[in-house]
Structure 1
């Protein structure tokens, strides 16, 4: 499954939240584990140990750069462990139940972390946490065997500790949510101003053939920020998609790319170049997308056959017929459609069989992990064979080493893109490298 991209600020705050949660789970879980063992409460000890292990697992995943995996894991495992721990809670008229209070920061944190995700992660899971909170708050649900419950003399300590920790967790979550919202509003304001002033530029990464001759390039967006310098798309595309600003940004990219392509075609030494442009799902799904694209192409005077419009396979294709109709309308004037990041989603074969693609691009994650006899190598080989059978052009992305290049050639690939042949560069540097026939890496 493909998930939405987290911007840098949101990812940083989610990481802080997950790390704090992991620390609390580890400390509380292992501490209560030692106490439960000393009190001869084996089932409670095992549950507390599982809580501590879950906390250590979160640390491990975050340390390995798998923040989203850690967040999704804790969103499903933590409430199960918490519900089980609530059953050990022994409420009485003098000592109220307290363990269930952790469901409140858990619900707030889940909504905060997954605010860009589908309804299940964003709303359903937090709603389940709130229902669990109400169930344990309004009912005396607990284990019936007194030997399994927390003894009365320890309930006061547990109640105070749980209440303080749960309130602290809720305060931290609210602070992180407020910081996230404040930064989001400020960044959205900056982005709107950038659109109004056209504070963007395109960089170009070479695409080469077997002989490493530059056949074209991919246009990659940069934001010329007044204080941060040139900012890559990873820092703002997620916000642009969330706010709908991706549509005017995408329109600017298409206009700028076509204008540059027209300038190249006016010069004999660059007239052969093709140019690939990424089209977002929001941009593609606009009712007037076809008319807008045709208008831009006609006004620029560019040859449509030199333009590659890239769609990711994760783009929604609920209405295949409507998608195919739009693609076909532009294909009829000569535009080539490219399926980007092949293998990063789950609907590729259906798209390839029913949508008029002319090119596919192998996702760089497969290229990076190719070996002598690895599953990813077999996938790349299968994609190469598939592209040949379907008469589709093929480009492998993320080629960074000579070994990767040689392996791709052995597997039958004939188009390449990556740092080995050139990093994304400004148009002047790209043209200089092209004319020198030595694109800089």
Structure 2
């Protein structure tokens, strides 16, 4: 329903939201600026005979280039650790070795420690860690010490005042500009979630949310259901990626609101499908977040929706992630059992990516185990990954569960999963997420193709669907 990665192909090292894109852009810009400064000053200093300082500026250029290359290859976290640490050490050493203040010209290199501290703080907001906090604190402390003392190394080789007086204005302006850029970036980070959260709340009221549906097929290729996936049609920005608005919704506590809208729309959709001979046998899977599942009246509100829309509860399937289960296992088991007694199906989503444990898996009264796309993508890359997928499928089958694999993109992945005994499949190979009208046409076309190829196979598939529905009700 509302997972952050359901709207894009699986591409490694691809940032999922605007925060990461802004951070990458900021790092690349800073790296290019530092390289430019180093390349400009190195030949000038060499011309003036300041070889030690020219070499130091070339070293700075190399450090910035390494950081830029790391970012450009998608290794953002590695680039942050390397750049922040190396630039902090470089700035301190440069001040103590070359940029000693005099009575005529003050020290200036330490000004770069302030934007470095702010960049470290922004990274700390993005991914809290002791390293990012340490960089911020160390940069501020170094700035205070270097701006308050005249200390340099006893063996320092200070830049002559006539040379430093040329660069002091340039470096002061550049450091201030970089600090201003960091202020703007942090200010946007503080204000963006609040603004987007408000827009999200209004989006539900303004009918800007949409459901798309991704087909789910059985081993014969028959479409047996679909997963409901949330999309946001912003009136000004167009399609907003779930990778951008789902984290904001979670942080702002809006998941019950979005999840409630999805359940209402899903029940309405199932009611519409009931009047269509091509779709009235399909199930519809809806992902339920932990905060939504823990709402006190979740069960009663859901059952009221089923009653009001007059749908067969066996055609509705709730997908729960492992994060839902670990909060309160006893209460979760009780709720799942209560929902199953009404005929609603329950699936454990993204199995293996969280807190997988046989101790709780054997206690959960679920119907289906859903293999996460990351396992599917890696299944053909090594025998170890393939063995892990085989074990997950065997585990699910031994527990009497239907095993569904998601994220299937190639015929080779599908063939491998079929050979392993997987029951059901979902992924771009069988259809991308699509609007309701497109799904209807897709189902009719696929059903017609199977009927023309093998009428007996179609009858068997339809009979299997009815039998599964009866088992769910029992």
TM-score > 0.5, shorter chain as reference: yes
Cα 1:8–1:88 shift into 2, 3 Å: closer
The answer to whether the 8 Å contact 2:323/2:355 transfers is yes
Q: 1:246 to 1:105 in 2, by over 3 A?
A: farther
Residue 21 of structure 2 is matched in structure 1 by 12
Find the aligned partners of 1:274 and 1:196 in 2 and give their Cα distance: 27
Is 1:80 aligned with 2:85?
yes
- Number of the residue aligned with 1:89: 95
Greater radius of gyration (CA): 2
Over residues 372-414 of structure 1, what are the superposed CA-to-partner deviations in whole Å (9 max), with x where a residue is unaligned? Answer: 6354433323322332333332222222222221122223322
1:422 aligns with 2:431: yes
Give the TM-score taking structure 1 as reference length: 0.79
1:129 and 1:388 map into 2 onto residues whose CA distance is 56
* Distance (whole Å) between structure 2 residues aligned to residue 383 and residue 428 of structure 1: 35
Cα root mean square deviation, aligned: 4.1
Q: Which residue of 2 aligns with 1:348?
A: 356
Counterparts of 1:74-153 in structure 2 under 5 Å?
A: 74-85=79-90, 86-90=92-96, 91-92=100-101, 94=103, 96-112=106-122, 115=125, 117-118=127-128, 126-127=136-137, 129-134=139-144, 136-137=146-147, 144=153, 146=155
Q: Where in structure 1 are there 5+ consecutive unaligned residues?
A: none
Shift of 1:418: 1.3
Cα displacement (A) at 1:279:
1.9
Distance 1:221 1:126 in 2: 38
Equivalent residue, structure 1, for 2:229: 220
CA deviation string 1:223-265 (max 9, x = no partner)? 2333455544234323323333332111100111122224434
Structure 1 residues 426 and 163, CA, compared in 2 at 3 Å: closer, same or farther?
Answer: same
Does structure 2 retain, via aligned residues, the 8 Å contact 1:399–1:420? yes
Secondary structure of 2:221's aligned partner: coil
Structure 1 segment 352-391 matched on structure 2, within 5 A: 353=361, 356=364, 357-371=366-380, 373=382, 375-391=384-400
- Shift of the 84–180 alpha-carbon distance from structure 1 to 2, 3 Å rule, reads closer
> Who is 2:215 aligned against?
206
Q: How far does residue 217 in structure 1 lie from its aligned partner after superposition?
A: 0.5
Check if 1:411 corresponds to 2:420: yes
Preserved contact between residue 205 and residue 418 of structure 1 (Cα < 8 Å): yes
* Gapped regions of structure 2 (runs ≥ 5): 6-14, 450-474
Q: Distance in 1 between matches of 2:230 and 2:319?
A: 14
Q: Does 1:193 align with 2:202?
A: yes
Inter-partner Cα distance in structure 1 for 2:304 and 2:132 = 39
CA–CA distance in 2 between the matches of 1:293 and 1:21?
Answer: 51
Tell me whether 1:176 sits opposite 2:185 in the alignment: yes
Matches of 1:248 and 1:167, distance apart in 2:
43
Cα pair 1:83 1:100 within 8 Å, conserved: no
Contact 1:7 1:238 (C-alpha < 8 Å) held by counterparts: no
Per the alignment, in what secondary structure is the counterpart of residue 348 of structure 1? coil
- Normalising to structure 2: TM-score of the pair? 0.74
Taking a change above 3 Å as real, the CA distance of residues 54 and 87 of structure 1, as seen in their structure-2 partners, is: closer
